[in-house]
A and B are shown apart, each in its own frame.
Chain A
Amino acid sequence: MSGQSWLQQSIALFRKDVLAETRTRVAFGSMGVFSFASLLLISLAMVGLKGVLLQNSAGQAVPAWNNSGKMSLLWVLLCFAAFAGLSHSFVYEEETGTASTLKLHMMPQAVYAGKLMFNTAILLIVSLVITPLYMVMTGMDAGTIPMFLAVMLSGTGCLAAVATVVAALAARARSTGALFGAVGLPMLTVLLVLIMDAARQCYIRSEATVQYLRPITGIVCFGVLIVTLSAMLFHFIWED
């Protein structure tokens, strides 16, 4: 494999991961069940808020359980789901001992690219399944559709980028499971603030005043910076 370019190597790793996943379905299964259970918990917990009106500072009555609030909880759910399943990608290489084979035969950057592709793909599939279900169960509107899609896509990509590099870091420790969430979630809080800001734009009444560029640029910049730095530093994490 050493004669191939890093792109070919990373695609080979991606295909290997997809094949392994179709056989075991561990990552997809754990993330799917985890997010579906959280979805049920959230809708159950918020049932009492349905139809409740609150008064805002301008004296208008607004629903307590509004679209922005629902969107925030959807993202909290997706963050936790990502951290429930994505650690698997590096941990199982360490557990089965295949990490050494990868270290011998592949460039570190190719390993990073392959794992990032796989994690992004699996997170996209999970959010593609969970988001419509969540919308049906909580009655969340999509608001401005193009903005909604842009937020979901860029947010999922960023989430996968952060989760991948933290998973690689945590897989090198002994108590991986506990460490993964605790190390990764503080980094995600900043991303979550950016996503909340972008999500608010989905629910602005008149479409002419919706700001597309600024919030999405923020999210994309965050993701691009994380991916660049992770790719540059990945060999420090990966090699002994």
Chain B
Amino acid sequence: MGSRISDSSSGHAVSLRDPDVSKKATNQWWSVTWKVTLGILMVYVIYGAFNIAHGAIGFAEKGIAARIIFFHVPCAVYSSIAYLVATWYAVKYLWLLGDKNKSAAVLADSDFKSSAAMELGFLFCILATITGSIFAGVQWGSFWNWDPRETSIVIMLLLYASYLLLRTAFTTDPAKRARLSAVYAVIAVIPSIFLIWVVPRVLQTMHPTTTLSNPANTSLSYKLVLYPSFIAFTMLFIWLMQLRVSTLRLTEARRERRLRALEAQH
């Protein structure tokens, strides 16, 4: 009879297998496809940056310096998007706190997502700072000029760091940690808004901001690498986000299991 039995009343075949198995298989297929596509895209972007895109006008080292945009710009963009994602989940967390029908799992999930986005934002922010500094060194002759863009990214880095620091202060009480870090994430939006809109206007910048926002400035060879680079970084961000959220979930589950075991002992 194998794993199938015949249901005589309805005539349908009933599976004795776990219903989640087919879902798991689909998930696994998706995960492998995602990683393979991401790998191919990233290899293409690295190859394309040096072999497809040619030197750009107005950049140092015969235009070679412009090649950093394939890595620097997506990192810088994702360091801000990560903050938006983190704030979104922080607001969702605070919103759900007032909801009486909420489930604890959904509540914890928003906190994990907010925290994971902050960690990724911190990572992308460091990468954008380093790549930007390399570019500044080649293009303007000094690795750090206190350009408004440099100033704002370094302050952004500090804001991320202080959020992560705040989280470390409440290791024993996850609910308090989630609530207070969500509040901090929402309040720190104000300095971030001022960083994006006000600070570059107050201080004068050398940063080439309009180079990419106007499509006429970029030739086909650049678009051929830059757009796949954005897709690759988006996929990388989503993948890392999923990985981090599931590790946070597992860590929390292990902590709770240990606590319960300790309580059972005493």
Contact = CB atoms under 8 A, between A and B. Distances in A.
B83 to A, nearest CB: 13
Contacts of A218: 194, 198, 202
A229 interface: yes
Nearest to A189: B155
A236 B182 contact: yes
Given A172-B180, A173-B169, A183-B184, A193 B203 contact: yes
A218 B199 CA distance: 10
Contact of B166 (A169, A194, A197): A169
Contacts of A183: 162, 165-166, 184
Name the residue in A182, A185, A186 with the highest tally of chain B Cβ atoms < 10 Å from its Cβ: A186
B186 A233 contact: yes
A186 B162 CA distance: 7
26 contacts: A172-B180, A182-B162, A183-B162, A183-B184, A186-B155, A186-B158, A186-B161, A186-B162, A186-B188, A186-B191, A187-B159, A187-B162, A187-B187, A190-B191, A190-B194, A190-B195, A193-B203, A218-B194, A218-B198, A229-B186, A229-B190, A230-B187, A233-B183, A236-B97, A236-B179, A237-B183
Contacts, number: 83
B158 A189 contact: yes
Contacts of A190: 155, 191, 194-195, 199
Interface string A157-195: 000000001000110111100010011111101110110
B176 interface: yes
Given A172-B180, A182-B162, A233 B187 contact: yes
A233 B94 contact: yes
A134 B151 CA distance: 28
A236 B94 contact: yes
B170 interface: yes
Which label, helix, strand, loop or mixed, suits the secondary structure of the B interface? Answer: helix
Interface in B184-227: 184, 186-191, 194-195, 198-199, 202-203
Nearest to B171: A174
A176 to B, nearest CB: 9
Q: Chain A interface: which size bin?
A: 20 to 34
Interface of A: 165, 169-170, 172-175, 179, 182-187, 189-191, 193-194, 197, 218, 222, 225-226, 229-230, 233, 236-237, 240
B245 to A, nearest CB: 22
Interface of B: 94, 97, 151, 155, 158-159, 161-162, 165-166, 169-170, 176, 179-180, 182-184, 186-191, 194-195, 198-199, 202-203
A181 to B, nearest CB: 10
Given A173-B166, A218-B194, A222-B194, 16 more contacts: A165-B187, A173-B180, A182-B165, A183-B165, A183-B184, A184-B162, A185-B158, A193-B202, A194-B194, A197-B203, A218-B198, A229-B186, A229-B187, A236-B182, A237-B179, A237-B180
Nearest to A187: B191
The 4 A-B residue pairs with the shortest CB-CB distance in the complex, in nearest-first order: A186-B158, A173-B169, A190-B191, A197-B202
Given A172-B176, A179-B169, A182-B165, A236 B198 contact: no
A228 B19 CA distance: 50
